[in-house]
Chain A
């Protein structure tokens, strides 16, 4: 099939086709370059601003050559509370990610592999959670956290992040688990595994790429989330986005410091994402890829 089509290609390779092909190639690389610029330039501007003195930031024409300085980082971390925000964010993101993964792996497995009569109904109810506007959750949650004595603790935003992520995580992991052949699990049962052991010995190892995707998504969500972190924390427990938000209002005053803070905040997730994005691609479709 492939060989025959190649032969056809050679036959069809007239001069007109070649010219057309070259134009197509040029257009393709032009689009790629354009998209590359669109993706990279905004990030580059912020990262370079982080190393600039204010005089070099506020120029009519973007300044490519400048005398770099670490002053902005020193200010952000030495003279303000960014180091504490960073620690808080790390704790909240790791805690919520671990919890959301454990809860959603169990729930997704229960909904796909155990034959429960109401499984469809329950998973749809879970997914409705994805539609609930966050604003309607905010104030009641605030009240609940205060009653539970958790407001102002790092656990409060962590719990909110777990719940906010659960509907999508369950749905996504269900997609992976559907693709695990039922025969594999049944063979393990016949070999003497208990039902729960099939989850740990068969299902989890098979869907590990999906769990990697869930991990990065949950992690970056919690790391980046603003609204709940803003409302459920107090000054002592502010996370990075809350700290960044305080800079956003005043563009001209602290531009360099804001950019330094933004650079440090986005670096871990961008680096993590760079290595895990290939799992993410397969992961987020929730099995829809397989048609």
Chain B
């Protein structure tokens, strides 16, 4: 855009305007997110117990994390939870988006509107709903499995082998519509000619899916993986409401464990160390996906 040259005065005015429009948002984010984060890093190097002076332990809390079996279990649970949740959400969400895109637009849109319903429900209500669903005596899941004769194989929320999957599945119920909506939008820009051409070449639906649809959706999938993955990794409300980490810490996640350390066991320093570790893990896992996703206009 070299045709549109500007004088230094215009340029300076634009810089001032830029500062004025960006500063308010930057100040709010700094005050509510980055200042507390700096405090968290600072506090994570102290051992803070009520009624005692804070003792500087430097990286002691971090060392403690890696020798604390519950903490390591929480880390493992969080990773597993994120993977299970992402796999279910992506597989079901993409499959449903593709199926709906092949229907007549009016039918597809109506179904999409119904399918998006769980997305707008609060995680704490999702927890309430799914506690009823998983209730061993009166729950729908047990009733349905009982009708199918499979009841004995299912442990529900009371079994340490099943609970994490049950919570991840409830989360998938809540958030799959998000993937469905976003991927649906992504599919609308895939040129229909491509499908026609592939069909003429004799490609089956599976090949079309893997060789045309998914590659074209790569960028959209990266975005939804980033958004959903970071949210799943930081899950709190749902676990808090459904199991509170039990049974036997089998559903304890990093956010929940940090919360318990800081607010229930009054070990603020340790709680902050856990949340800093969570942040580092998030940056390591999702940093590569984030690069280049926030850009200005290309000239």
Bound Cα distance A134, B32 (Å): 10
Q: Establish whether residues B22 and A107, one from each chain, have CB atoms under 8 Å apart when the complex forms.
A: yes
Interface size class of B (residues with CB under 8 A): 35 or more
Chain B residues with CB under 8 A of A38: 173
Complex interface residues of chain B between 113 and 136 (CB less than 8 A to chain A): 113-125, 127-133, 135
Complex interface residues of chain B between 82 and 99 (CB less than 8 A to chain A): 92, 95-96, 99
Known: A45-B133, A178-B296, A291-B219. A106 touches B25 (CB 8 A): yes
Nearest neighbor of A113 in chain B, beta-carbon distance: B297
- Give the most central of B95, B121, B240: most A CB within 10 Å: B121
Interface string of B210-241 (1 = CB under 8 A from A): 00000010011011100100100010110011
Chain A residues with CB under 8 A of B224: 285
B92 shortest CB reach to chain A, Å: 7
Chain A contact residue count (CB 8 A cutoff):
114
Q: Establish whether residues B272 and A136, one from each chain, have CB atoms under 8 Å apart when the complex forms.
A: yes
Tell me, yes or no, whether B143 is within 8 Å of chain A by CB. yes
Complex interface residues of chain A between 32 and 72 (CB less than 8 A to chain B): 32, 35-36, 38-43, 45-46, 49, 57-62
Known: A61-B143, A140-B39, A163-B33. A133 touches B241 (CB 8 A): no
Chain A residues with CB under 8 A of B234: 133-134
Bound Cα distance A220, B188 (Å): 26
Bound Cα distance A178, B293 (Å): 12
Bound Cα distance A159, B27 (Å): 12
Chain A residues with CB under 8 A of B197: 5
Known: A132-B37, A285-B185. A35 touches B258 (CB 8 A): no
Which one of B49-57, B59-67, B158-166, B275-283 is at the interface? B275-283
B222 shortest CB reach to chain A, Å: 7
Tell me, yes or no, whether B140 is within 8 Å of chain A by CB. yes
Bound Cα distance A32, B192 (Å): 22
Q: Establish whether residues B32 and A170, one from each chain, have CB atoms under 8 Å apart when the complex forms.
A: no
Q: Establish whether residues A45 and B295, one from each chain, have CB atoms under 8 Å apart when the complex forms.
A: no
State the main secondary structure of chain A at its contact with B.
helix
Known: A1-B193, A163-B28. A281 touches B184 (CB 8 A): yes
Bound Cα distance A110, B15 (Å): 9
Q: Establish whether residues A32 and B32, one from each chain, have CB atoms under 8 Å apart when the complex forms.
A: no
Q: Establish whether residues B113 and A274, one from each chain, have CB atoms under 8 Å apart when the complex forms.
A: yes
Chain B residues with CB under 8 A of A15: none
Bound Cα distance A15, B198 (Å): 21
Q: Establish whether residues B29 and A282, one from each chain, have CB atoms under 8 Å apart when the complex forms.
A: no
B152 shortest CB reach to chain A, Å: 16
Q: Establish whether residues A178 and B295, one from each chain, have CB atoms under 8 Å apart when the complex forms.
A: yes
Chain A residues with CB under 8 A of B196: 1-2, 5
The answer, among A31, A124, A289, for a CB contact under 8 Å with B220, is A289
Complex interface residues of chain B between 69 and 106 (CB less than 8 A to chain A): 92, 95-96, 99-100, 102
Other A-B pairs, 10, CB within 8 Å; known A226-B124, A244-B124, A281-B184:
A39-B115, A106-B22, A134-B234, A135-B274, A139-B268, A139-B272, A164-B32, A170-B25, A226-B123, A284-B227
